Amino acid sequence: MTDLSILLRDAEQRLTALGVEEARLDLLYLAERAFGIPVSRLRRPDGLMGTAEQVAAFNALVERRAAREPVQRILGDWEFWGLTLTLGPETLIPRPDTETLVEAVLKSCPDRGRAWRILDLGTGTGAILLALLSEYRHAFGVGVDLSPDAAMVARGNAVSLGLSGRAAFVAGSWVDALGGPFDIIVSNPPYIPDGDIAGLAPEVARFEPWRALAGGADGLDPYRHLVRVLPLLLSPGGLLGFEHGADQGPAVADLMRGAGFAGVVTVRDLGDRDRVTMGRGSGRD
């Protein structure tokens, strides 16, 4: 039997030396998976022991993290808005910053009992759409992703969460072949300038799907396209909400105003950074 306090200490020292941020927390998640012990108990591991088989499984997970594979991808699932979502090679890891978009939509459209029609473009795991459907109990949503594999992952997440009866997922290029209208359209499109991707943290540059990151020369190409085509799919006074990079709020807001969206506002995330810009389509809701 192996003392887990020593095992965790040694693994933390190794990962920290390799430049892994929040190494201790990542190791707790990996240990929870390998040893079947809750993170809350692992925070104080004195007296905890592991079998040789468990230790071997844990060490294999640590090796993957040492290679800078994100802990979320090692585990294969992650939590977003209190929902456990399966990941796939073609999906981005859901991040807490994206919950800012969910919160902003709920604040702008507070009627939880209305049968909202929701469109999520670049749906990935389905995180944003499924979070909204979990709050809007009578809403129906469509999630679109360029990757058929991502759309399949999102569909599976809807099934596991009991939301598949109110969600449809399709593979396609943005709004091609889509009808409307939709009351709420949300999107977390690729917004990293192409030339910046190689310089990102290895967890992102090497393990996140390129086409879910790359937004063109300045990161704004998807927004330029979407603000032109989405007014045709929005119901009168419908809401459009974008996630974007921390330095892109003014540019996205200008694009939306230039396309005729009204009441355009930018919302900050928990780190006090511009994260979401929203506006209303023409007409009255």
Residues tagged in the binding site annotation for substrate: 188-191
Give the number of other CB atoms < 10 A from CB of residue 262.
12
**Binding site: which residues?**
122-126, 145, 174, 188-191
Q: Residues 50, 4: contact at Cβ < 8 Å?
A: yes
Closest CA to 244 of 193, 196, 198: 193
Q: Which residues contact 190 (CB under 8 A, 6 or more apart)?
A: 122, 211, 212, 213, 214, 215, 219, 222
**Binding site for S-adenosyl-L-methionine: which residues?**
122-126, 145, 174, 188
Q: Which residues contact 238 (CB under 8 A, 6 or more apart)?
A: 181, 182, 183, 184, 185, 280, 281, 285
- Which H or E element spans position 83? strand 83-86
Between CA 191 and CA 280 the distance in angstroms is: 21
Between CA 92 and CA 71 the distance in angstroms is: 13
Q: Residues 261, 237: contact at Cβ < 8 Å?
A: no
DSSP for 136-173? Answer: STT-EEEEEES-HHHHHHHHHHHHHTT-GGGEEEEESS
Between CA 249 and CA 252 the distance in angstroms is: 5
